[in-house]
Amino acid sequence: MSLELVSQTKSFGGWHKQYNHASSALGVSMRFAIFLPPQAQSGEKVPVLYWLSGLTCTDENFMQKAGAQRIAAELGIAIVAPDTSPRGDNVANDEGYDLGQGAGFYVNATEAPWRDHYRMYDYVVDELPKLIEATFPVSQKRAIAGHSMGGHGALMISLRNPDRYCSASAFSPISNPSDCPWGRKAFSAYLGGDESTWSQYDTTELLRNSQSKVPLRVDQGLADTFLTEQLQPEKLLGAAAESDCSLQLEQHEGYDHSYFFIASFIEDQLKFHHQYLVTE
Amino acid sequence: MSLELVSQTKSFGGWHKQYNHASSALGVSMRFAIFLPPQAQSGEKVPVLYWLSGLTCTDENFMQKAGAQRIAAELGIAIVAPDTSPRGDNVANDEGYDLGQGAGFYVNATEAPWRDHYRMYDYVVDELPKLIEATFPVSQKRAIAGHSMGGHGALMISLRNPDRYCSASAFSPISNPSDCPWGRKAFSAYLGGDESTWSQYDTTELLRNSQSKVPLRVDQGLADTFLTEQLQPEKLLGAAAESDCSLQLEQHEGYDHSYFFIASFIEDQLKFHHQYLVTE
């Protein structure tokens, strides 16, 4: 589990760093970014927010555009941003922006050719936290959040692993991937034509009848061009009503799917997580 | 002076918009971005900060990475970010990242082939503010700021036009372009081999003996890899000591030349400008 430092930049009194490492879950070299707040330099073990990005993104989009470091530095939270898929010349790919490299959907693929490397679920749930917690001055208090495809990933992963996360949130998540074009394309390829295998990775299906106590928050812009066809946050409300889960849906007039929306409300989401991360 | 709207995105209760327009100063179509804070929607005429970006940048880098909209929305300041040069297939260019398109240096070129379009000084000082003030709900209170090449541009323009700006600031400016590799390459090309013509565009030369009352602030990271060879902020201190100018130089241990540095201190710079922009 050796790490190669790619870059390090001081930011808001803490450090933004990028690393490469050989991932055993994915069978390729992966890059991730970590923001270590100032509190981590004084020996304090800080909690970690894992951020899962959306289609086409790398570890860089959130770290460069969300403005999250300012608040993370204030609250004493580390942020870890993995890439959105395995990458490389030997990794299966597709011409579309919504399948293959940059579009791993945080599942373990079972179908050829994807199953050789596309195991982002195992990477995000197991391998990456193990590496982070063995390497950096962080506690085992974890939160998980993301945007769009990564918003789906964050909610889905928290529902399947309620003991591992204190809280979960999403901006503009793909709420019901089994029933929208982005999700159906990806799940057909990665998981195959038998749709009964899809529900294990579908946030809306998981939420129905879930007994997870992980508090969930979703922020959705009402001028998001993907709202009706791809995102469908009303599905989450319906499913949460059938479950024991706590889901807070915040809808924002006029905001779209971009990082300007995320930047406008990331402070609210980080403060949402902070209240659960600091609880013993 | 007709404007074509390219994009509009809600951000921190205000609006980020991009426009194309035919520039008469440059003889090409130019894109700029404007952030209009919430106060501008209620009919209030807000002051404007002009932001000049560095080498290779467009109107997008600052708007996406600096996190400035949050504070501008709070303080009620509009921000205008022009491109860093004329662009297009018919515009002279160079293979280097530090000359030609993306590297206009905010001067009026006198030498062929650059003089056909490279008149960024006239564009930023005259044409763009005239367009902004005729189109948007803004006052004639102006501040100017920038990064690296744009930091040089902001300080230089304020020193040459003390009646037009309430305040000026820079992150990591190229302080003395006549005496560093980036500046000498650009000024030789745009202004020719007679170095006596360079001083009119050189901040350090202008600052010496200046009687400008425009307050100046400079933020410089001490881990900036360009510090010694290209930036040389100590030249500004020396020149300011020979002048009537007020120059505040803030040096920051550990910070580099990136937008993570800018994001870390943009709140301080915007609050610096705000105190002068709200004075009658």
Those of residues 35-64 in B touching chain A at CB distance below 8 A are 64
* From the candidate CATH numbers 3.30.1540.20, 1.10.1070.11, 3.40.50.1820, 3.30.429.10, the one assigned to the domain spanning B3-277: 3.40.50.1820
pLDDT-based confidence at residue B43 (cuts at 50, 70, 90): confident
Active-site residue identified among B148, B169, B175, B210: B148
Query: What pLDDT does residue B44 have?
Result: 85
With a CB cutoff of 8 Å and minimum separation 6, the contacts of A122 are A25, A108
Nearest chain B Cα to A62, which residue?
B65
**Is the dihedral angle over the CA atoms A95, A98, A102, A103 positive or is it negative?**
negative
Pairing of strands A78-82, A46-52: parallel
- Domain residues of chain B, as ranges? 3-277
Query: What pLDDT does residue A280 have?
Result: 61
Nearest chain A Cα to B10, which residue?
A255
A vs B, Cβ pairs < 8 A, gives: 61
Please judge whether A260 and B69 are an interchain contact, meaning their C-beta atoms are less than 8 angstroms apart.
Answer: yes
B166-187 confidence digits (pLDDT tens): 999 999 999 999 999 999 999 9
The predicted model gives A15-20 an average pLDDT of: 98
Is it the case that residue A277 has pLDDT exceeding 80?
yes
pLDDT-based confidence at residue A1 (cuts at 50, 70, 90): low
B174-208 b/e (C-beta count within 10 Å ≥ 16 → b)? bbbbbbbebbebbbebbbbeeeeebeebbbbbbbb
Nearest chain B Cα to A11, which residue?
B260
Which parts of A105-245 are beta strand (E)?
138-147, 167-171, 216-221
ipTM score assigned to the predicted complex:
0.94
Query: What pLDDT does residue A244 have?
Result: 83
Dist. CA A131–CA A243, nearest whole Å: 33
Q: Which residues of A touch B263 (CB under 8 A)?
A: 11-12, 67, 69-70
The predicted model gives A129-133 an average pLDDT of: 97
pLDDT-based confidence at residue A173 (cuts at 50, 70, 90): very high
Active-site residue identified among A147, A257, A273, A274: A257
Dihedrals phi, psi of A112, to nearest 5 degrees: -70, 150
Q: Which residues of A touch B219 (CB under 8 A)?
A: none
Alpha-carbon distance A253 to nearest alpha carbon in chain B (angstroms): 9
Please judge whether B264 and A221 are an interchain contact, meaning their C-beta atoms are less than 8 angstroms apart.
Answer: no
The predicted model gives A190-206 an average pLDDT of: 97
